[in-house]
């Protein structure tokens, strides 16, 4: 789901380090929201910064002039240059756009709407225009929102965009999207549910974002404690996929390939090793997060032991240190060989892709981190 930001959501948070932005950034990482900002909003904020620094700078110059009159000082003071404001604005623009990119926020280009359509809305007092013809930039923001809607293949539309704006007079009506804007959505084949106007941002954080964080925390705690949530048992799934990875595929029978190099896991005295089973010793659920389609990724750090047997020449058995003697399965496999146990310890990162309601597993990915005898 997309979250689109209006100018007033970022108002005066020029460094984009405020509580709102950081909360939204966290939500984009863990809850699967895609943060987006219209280019017209960026231009408005840059202009706000310019107006504010010009006002402050003019006040500073006037105060400096009065100080010089009172003290007869002629020394050049800091920031006393005609280019100061222009230089600061250029630096701010570059830093602001870089910060947006660092936060992973998508910049929405100016919409491709025809000027004739915008003028028609203005002349007919359609929202977000007011009776005094103000609202041109708001109209462009709304057009940007519409351009990023995707036709649904389902019978009913689901919410695609959470539009965060405290501009309730121009976009909203009684806390909901204005009927003029709903009519535009319906003309495009959507229902009113496809865009939700969020005007009370603090309540939105508390009632939705914080609750979703809490839900994921509960899932992670339950998985860590019982390895189960709803219809899914992660331990059983992990054991099954590791068995397929390391036993069925026989990954360790002839060697192990870290970075493309073939490395033997067993001493050369062990011939024809055969891994037959794997047992999970420990599972640490490191993270649970949502993707943009509301499916869930569960990432686990897993420690397990793969075990099997191998043949050993009888004379070689006595070359081992007494503390490292292999366990014998059959001392007299034939005239020259015995059968002994072999095992390796494996650390893996297992990522499970789970359906939104935690009812089925879509896929499982295994990444080997470390293997040792």
- Name the DSSP letter for residue 294: S
Domain assignment of residue 291, given as a range: 228-372
Asked whether the beta carbons of 4 and 148 are under 8 A apart, the reply is yes
Q: Is the dihedral of CA 52, 54, 56, 59 positive or negative?
A: negative
Domain count within the chain:
2
In a domain, 210, yes or no: no
Task: For residue 167, give both structure tokens.
Answer: 């501009």
My answer on whether 120 and 259 are in the same domain is no
In a domain, 222, yes or no: no
In a domain, 42, yes or no: yes
| pTM score above 0.95 | no
My answer on whether 101 and 44 are in the same domain is yes
**Hunting for tokens 């990444």 — which residue is that?**
367
My answer on whether 29 and 169 are in the same domain is yes
Q: How far is the C-alpha of 277 from the C-alpha of 264, rounded, in Å?
A: 18
My answer on whether 247 and 200 are in the same domain is no
My answer on whether 174 and 117 are in the same domain is yes
Q: How far is the C-alpha of 258 from the C-alpha of 61, rounded, in Å?
A: 66
Q: How far is the C-alpha of 45 from the C-alpha of 260, rounded, in Å?
A: 51
In a domain, 214, yes or no: no
H or E segment and range at residue 366 = strand 361-372
My answer on whether 246 and 309 are in the same domain is yes
pLDDT at 261: 60
Asked whether the beta carbons of 195 and 149 are under 8 A apart, the reply is yes
In a domain, 171, yes or no: yes
My answer on whether 126 and 15 are in the same domain is yes
My answer on whether 246 and 180 are in the same domain is no
- pLDDT tens for the chain, 373 residues long, are 899 999 999 988 999 999 999 999 999 999 999 999 999 999 999 999 999 999 999 998 888 888 878 887 666 677 777 788 999 999 999 999 999 999 999 999 999 988 888 888 878 878 888 766 688 999 999 999 999 999 877 766 789 999 999 988 889 888 889 999 999 999 999 988 999 999 999 999 999 999 999 999 999 999 999 999 998 999 999 999 999 988 887 666 655 555 556 556 677 788 888 888 999 999 999 999 999 888 999 999 999 998 889 899 999 988 888 887 888 999 999 999 999 998 888 899 999 999 988 999 999 999 988 887 7
Q: How far is the C-alpha of 278 from the C-alpha of 244, rounded, in Å?
A: 10
My answer on whether 292 and 165 are in the same domain is no
My answer on whether 132 and 184 are in the same domain is yes
In a domain, 215, yes or no: no
- Name the DSSP letter for residue 330: E
Question: Number of C-alpha atoms within 13 angstroms, CB side, residue 86?
Answer: 3
200 phi-psi bin (left φ>0, alpha ψ -120 to 50, beta other) = beta
Sheet of strand 34-38, all strands in order from the earlier edge strand to the far edge? 106-108, 34-38, 2-5, 161-164, 195-198
**Hunting for tokens 């100018």 — which residue is that?**
7
In a domain, 149, yes or no: yes
């Amino acid at each position: 789901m997309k979250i689109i930001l209006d100018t007033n959501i970022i108002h005066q948070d020029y460094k984009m380090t405020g509580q709102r932005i950081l909360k939204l950034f966290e939500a984009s990482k863990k809850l699967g929201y895609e943060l987006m900002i219209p280019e017209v909003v960026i231009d408005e904020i840059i202009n706000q910064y310019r107006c504010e620094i010009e006002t402050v700078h003019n006040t500073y110059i006037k105060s400096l002039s009065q100080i010089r009159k009172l003290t007869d000082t002629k020394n050049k003071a800091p920031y006393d240059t005609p280019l100061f404001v222009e230089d600061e604005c250029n630096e701010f623009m570059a830093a602001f756009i870089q910060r947006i990119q660092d936060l992973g926020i998508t910049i929405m280009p100016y919409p491709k709407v025809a000027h004739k359509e915008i003028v028609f809305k203005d002349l007919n007092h359609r929202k977000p225009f007011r009776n005094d013809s103000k609202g041109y930039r708001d109209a462009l923001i709304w057009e940007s929102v519409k351009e990023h809607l995707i036709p649904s293949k389902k019978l009913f539309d689901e919410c695609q965009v959470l539009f965060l704006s405290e501009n309730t007079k121009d976009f909203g009506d009684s806390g909901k999207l204005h009927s003029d804007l709903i009519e535009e959505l319906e003309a495009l084949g959507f229902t009113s549910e496809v865009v939700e106007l969020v005007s009370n941002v603090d309540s939105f954080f508390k009632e939705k974002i914080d609750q979703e964080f809490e839900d994921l925390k509960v899932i992670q705690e339950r998985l860590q404690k019982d390895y189960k949530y709803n219809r899914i048992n992660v331990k059983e799934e992990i054991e099954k996929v590791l068995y397929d990875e390391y036993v069925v595929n026989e990954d360790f029978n002839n060697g192990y390939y870290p970075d493309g190099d073939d490395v033997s896991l067993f001493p050369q005295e062990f011939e024809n090793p055969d891994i037959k089973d794997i047992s999970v010793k420990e599972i640490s659920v490191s993270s649970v997060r949502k993707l943009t389609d509301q499916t869930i990724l569960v990432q686990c750090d897993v420690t397990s032991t793969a075990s099997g047997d191998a043949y050993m020449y009888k004379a070689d058995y006595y070359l081992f240190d007494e503390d490292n003697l292999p366990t014998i399965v059959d001392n007299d496999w034939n005239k020259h060989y015995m059968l002994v146990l072999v095992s390796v310890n494996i650390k893996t990162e297992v990522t499970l892709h789970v359906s939104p309601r935690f009812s089925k597993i879509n896929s499982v990915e295994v990444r080997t981190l470390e293997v040792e005898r």
